[in-house]
Amino acid sequence: EAAKSLPQLRSQAQEVSALQISLESEIGQHKKDRDEAKSAISSAAEIRKKEADAFLKDSQSQQESVDSLTAAIQALQQNRAASFLQTTGAAVLRRLSLSADMTTRNRDLLASFLSRSGVPSDQVLGMLKQMKEDMGSDLKDMKSTEKKRLAEHASLMEAKQKQQEVAMKAMEEKYMCYCKDTSESLTLQLAEAAKSLPQLRSQAQEVSALQISLESEIGQHKKDRDEAKSAISSAAEIRKKEADAFLKDSQSQQESVDSLTAAIQALQQNRAASFLQTTGAAVLRRLSLSADMTTRNRDLLASFLSRSGVPSDQVLGMLKQMKEDMGSDLKDMKSTEKKRLAEHASLMEAKQKQQEVAMKAMEEKYMCYCKDTSESLTLQLAEAAKSLP
């Protein structure tokens, strides 16, 4: 009976070998797709981190330039140019006079102002106002570009994560087709042969025990991989929300600081009435309702905005303190964002590594389960054939 079944078993073993070659080719393509997606994710994350770091650095530098120009304009309007030239704002403008993209005439005007060469203040004032407008516009464009890049990055990461998942799922399905179905088929055939060939019984039992052990190990690797995948997805979603919130909150905070600067300047120049018609006053009205401040300061701000004739020195002191506090909060926001960027990059790197380790272990176990088991069964059948008359 065993002698009759062995030729059929040999034929089936050959079919398994042919299927193995075909599935290995398909699995190879899925690996290629997965690795391409993994590489794209890694590259995109590295590029995004560099872009975010550059944005934080460049936008902060641009904001310092705008603030320094604002201070210079205010100093000229109040005949305080000499005192301004002793400040850090003047140092920023000196750097701008060397590095900024401007006409030769404007560069000479700025250099003359900074060297106290007595150039007409109206010419310098006009040039500084235009520089502030241009640099403010550039800063706005930077923020818009950063928001666009965030959205593009999130979309790319979602697409590549999906590609990676599809490839990994296809690999698993092929492995299971290759391993479970063919190995179980050979095991059943071996078990049938073992009924007539007692020496094969123990080998069939060993193969079955190996399958159970490897399936348990593969299950744990899947669990590790899925945990890493879930952590990566959750971290990416959190980072996007944090980045969106940072852009929104820092822009709102900067608008508040700018409005306070404009209000201080207006009070110092006795132009409070005209300031109250501007968008800056509208920002301060929102602050008077929402900002965390003492009742006294809230009442002072409300009085100023309603033209109630509150002493300007009291209002001025309060506005200067608000500007200092909100400027400090803005600086803390930027510092926190930089820290979160670094933490996110570190977490993503660790979880990507965990996912890769789990996938590699799964592949190794699958190959051990599939290839070694199939080859072992085929060899056992060949040994069985030798023992037959």
Q: What is the pLDDT of residues 269-328, one digit of tens each?
A: 788 888 888 888 999 999 999 888 899 899 889 988 988 766 788 899 999 999 999 999
Across residues 25-40, what is the average pLDDT? 85
CA angle 136, 137, 138 (to 5 degrees): 90
Using DSSP's 3-state secondary structure scheme, residue 27 falls into helix
Determine what percent of the chain is predicted with pLDDT higher than 90.
21
Phi and psi torsions of 278, nearest 5°: -95, 170
DSSP state of 278: S
Q: How far is CA 279 from CA 131, 263, 289, 322, in A?
A: 21, 11, 16, 18
Count of CB atoms situated within 10 Å of the CB of 335: 11
Q: How deeply is 199 buried, as exposed, middle or buried, from its count of CB atoms within 10 A (0-12, 13-18, 19+)?
A: exposed
User: If you average pLDDT over every residue of the chain, what do you get?
Assistant: 82
With tokens 């981190």, the residue in question is 49
Instruction: Give the type of residue at 237.
Output: E
The rounded distance, in Å, linking the Cα atoms of 27 and 173 is: 9
Q: In the predicted model, is pLDDT for residue 354 greater than 70?
A: yes
Q: What is the pLDDT of residue 284?
A: 93
> What ranges in the chain are assigned the alpha helix state H?
2-77, 81-84, 88-99, 104-114, 121-176, 182-196, 201-268, 272-275, 279-290, 295-305, 312-367, 373-387
Better pLDDT: 108 or 17: 108
The rounded distance, in Å, linking the Cα atoms of 36 and 30 is: 10
- pTM score > 0.95 for this model? no
CA angle 340, 344, 347 (to 5 degrees): 140
The HSE-up count of residue 98 (CA atoms within 13 Å, CB side) is 5
Using DSSP's 3-state secondary structure scheme, residue 198 falls into helix
Q: Residue 55's closest CA among 134, 141, 142, 132? A: 142
Q: What is the pLDDT of residue 62?
A: 92
Determine what percent of the chain is predicted with pLDDT higher than 70.
78
Q: In the predicted model, is pLDDT for residue 96 greater than 70?
A: yes
The rounded distance, in Å, linking the Cα atoms of 102 and 231 is: 48
Q: Confidence class of residue 19 from pLDDT cuts 50, 70 and 90?
A: low
Using DSSP's 3-state secondary structure scheme, residue 388 falls into coil
Q: What is the pLDDT of residue 327?
A: 92
Better pLDDT: 152 or 25: 152
Count of CB atoms situated within 10 Å of the CB of 198: 8
Better pLDDT: 9 or 164: 164
- HEC profile of 200-249: HHHHHHHHHHHHHHHHHHHHHHHHHHHHHHHHHHHHHHHHHHHHHHHHHH
Phi and psi torsions of 24, nearest 5°: -60, -35
> What are the pLDDT digits (tens) for 172-225?
777 766 666 666 665 666 566 656 555 555 665 666 676 677 778 878 888 888
Q: What is the pLDDT of residue 92?
A: 92
Q: In the predicted model, is pLDDT for residue 329 greater than 70?
A: yes
